[in-house]
Structure 1
Amino acid sequence: MTMTVNKTKHDHIILCTIDELVPADHMVRKLEASIDWCFIYPLVENLYSRFGRASIDPVVLFKMIFINIIFGINSMRRTCREIEVNLAYRWFLGLSIKEKVPNYSTWSQNYIRRYSNSEVFEQIFVKILSEAMNCGFVDLDTVFGDSTHQKANANKNKYT
């Protein structure tokens, strides 16, 4: 029996689109098909100037939050790194392979400077939650609660 040695080359040219490489049943495809993200533009229009350098597309910024939350990535920096290498995430954001992913610092500063004093987050959350419920993505039969801020009362005789 002979041993096989993998001599993989990393300089292959692939002639296909990102669309062909993202599986049909991937979660990003379900999100894209279920939510019309264009509703974000009129909500944030007054927060952007018509002058100066071009901004990052606000839909891209909000979709990056979705990637962060839905796929359980616990930091903005790591989310940006994952988007750099994950074709499904790039497809979802509408970024080509050659386009740069927004820097985590730019991403966070947009929220701090542009959105912190507005009701944009709540409006977008309510809209997406209602669409998710209409599509059957939200299960209302099970409710989870976080009681980390409640004091436990294990002593049954304390108030007798």
Structure 2
Amino acid sequence: MRGADTFTESLFTMRRLEDFVPADHPLRPIRAMVNEALLKMDHLFAGMYEADIKGGRPSIAPEKLLRAMLLQIFFSVRSERQLMEQTQYNLLYRWFIGLSMDDAVWVPTVFTKNRERLIAHDTIIELFNHIVETADRKGWLSGEHFSVDGTLIQAWASHRSFVRKDGGDDDAGGNTTGGTTFKGQTRSNDTHASRTDGDARLYRKGKTASELRYMGHTLSDNRHGLIANAMVTTADGYAEREAAKVMIHAACEAADEDTISITLGADKGYDAEEFVNACEGMGVIPHVAQNKSNRRSAVSDTIAASEGYVLSQRKRKLIEQGFGWAKTVGGIRQVMVRGIKRVDQLFVLTMTAYNLTRMRSLGQIRPQAL
């Protein structure tokens, strides 16, 4: 018998949000790990609002704000406005963030303003560190063998915003409609800067075209490819090696005293005598791919012939998975924020989300299989 096309809505419901989320939903273990980290950050959240002595309306709870920002990355939501719109009707979003069915969703501008407070207090970096600590406690990090690499991040700024610092006219084409042509002109970061994002730099790598960019760097642990450190710098030819030294130095300080040696895998771009010497000075074995193209490699043949070197070169490719996920799912290919501080925080948050997805998968594997 054909059913009737009717719609009857009950005035009340006796079900909770928890009942609408399947017991085996992938977000359940992720939310548990995030909540565990947020509990440890309570002192930081309290300090963020100590200056608010005048009272007034309560701000968005930082815990809910961070969950919402992670959710935006997990589901590739393009903007805060779209996130707020989807949270209005998506029960899964409300459950993950911590909003009840009757709670009002925030205005996008209020959400953005409160997000700036998190950035100012480095809350995202604190969350990243707690997630890494969780991975270490579960035995998913080696703490000894790492890989490093960098990737280009396109800035939220156009070529038209890249103008002379001295206020001169770059419009050589005589365009009177407001456009700008650069044919036959020489532009560099020394003489030009973006009007909309002063921290972005005109840069190219390999066969890519010159664009206004930043450079993102990650240090991954070779055991399961989890990101142990992440940072953003301005884009230039030395940024990758300088960032690598900062991150591996932090890894050395955090290493256990019983650690015999720390290794660092990297591609040929890191094969420079200055970088190799800096690694050896920190007690790090440089498992850097040898670059012998019309030159002498800074990595000794003794290191290159070792069994650990071959293993590091195979494991270092795991770091590319993090970059690929961040650009296709996390939307980091071109950031929609401006300023190196905001770009850095967004990049670190994206790598936090990437770690959570991998840790969720690792948690489904039997411990003896690890």
| TM-score bin (small chain) | 0.7 to 0.9
Q: Amino acid of the residue matched to residue 43 of structure 1?
A: L
> What's the counterpart of residue 25 of structure 1?
24
Q: CA RMSD in A?
A: 3.4
With over 3 angstroms needed to count, the CA separation of the structure-2 counterparts of 1:84 and 1:152, relative to structure 1, is same
Q: Amino acid of the residue matched to residue 18 of structure 1?
A: L
With over 3 angstroms needed to count, the CA separation of the structure-2 counterparts of 1:86 and 1:153, relative to structure 1, is closer
Give the gaps of 5 or more residues in structure 1: none
> What's the counterpart of residue 114 of structure 2?
110
Q: What is the Cα deviation at residue 78 of structure 1?
A: 0.8
With over 3 angstroms needed to count, the CA separation of the structure-2 counterparts of 1:99 and 1:132, relative to structure 1, is farther
TM-score scaled by length of structure 1: 0.74
Q: Does 1:61 align with 2:62?
A: no
Contact 2:72 2:83 in 1 (8 A): yes
Q: Amino acid of the residue matched to residue 71 of structure 1?
A: F
Q: Does 1:151 align with 2:205?
A: yes
Q: What is the Cα deviation at residue 20 of structure 1?
A: 0.9
Stretch deviating more after TM superposition (9-18 or 78-87): 9-18
Q: Amino acid of the residue matched to residue 126 of structure 2?
A: Q
Q: What is the Cα deviation at residue 46 of structure 1?
A: 1.6
Percent of aligned positions that are identical: 26
Which one has a larger percent helix, Structure 1 or Structure 2? 1
Q: What is the Cα deviation at residue 76 of structure 1?
A: 1.0
With over 3 angstroms needed to count, the CA separation of the structure-2 counterparts of 1:10 and 1:117, relative to structure 1, is same
Q: Amino acid of the residue matched to residue 28 of structure 2?
A: R
Q: In the TM superposition, what are the counterparts of 1:5-84 in structure 2 within 5 Å?
A: 7-9=5-7, 11-12=9-10, 14-35=13-34, 36=36, 37-48=38-49, 49-50=52-53, 51-84=55-88
- Alpha-carbon separation, structure 2, partners of 1:5 and 1:31: 40
Q: What is the Cα deviation at residue 74 of structure 1?
A: 1.7
Stretch deviating more after TM superposition (74-83 or 120-129): 120-129
Q: What is the Cα deviation at residue 79 of structure 1?
A: 1.0
Stretch deviating more after TM superposition (74-83 or 129-138): 129-138
Q: What is the Cα deviation at residue 142 of structure 1?
A: 10
Which one has a larger percent strand, Structure 1 or Structure 2? 2
- Alpha-carbon separation, structure 1, partners of 2:65 and 2:127: 12
Deviations 1:70-117, CA, capped at 9 Å, x for gaps: 1211211111111111112211222111101222211110122x2343
Contact 1:32 1:92 in 2 (8 A): yes
> What's the counterpart of residue 125 of structure 2?
122
With over 3 angstroms needed to count, the CA separation of the structure-2 counterparts of 1:97 and 1:153, relative to structure 1, is closer
Contact 1:80 1:103 in 2 (8 A): yes
Q: In the TM superposition, what are the counterparts of 1:79-94 in structure 2 within 5 Å?
A: 79-94=83-98
Contact 1:83 1:90 in 2 (8 A): yes
- Alpha-carbon separation, structure 1, partners of 2:148 and 2:21: 32
With over 3 angstroms needed to count, the CA separation of the structure-2 counterparts of 1:137 and 1:19, relative to structure 1, is farther
Q: Amino acid of the residue matched to residue 41 of structure 2?
A: I
Q: What is the Cα deviation at residue 60 of structure 1?
A: 0.4
Q: Amino acid of the residue matched to residue 205 of structure 2?
A: K
- Alpha-carbon separation, structure 2, partners of 1:72 and 1:153: 28
Q: What is the Cα deviation at residue 144 of structure 1?
A: 8.2
Stretch deviating more after TM superposition (71-80 or 120-129): 120-129
Stretch deviating more after TM superposition (9-18 or 142-151): 142-151
Larger Rg: 2
Greater RCO, 1 or 2 (C-alpha within 8 Å, sep 6+): 1
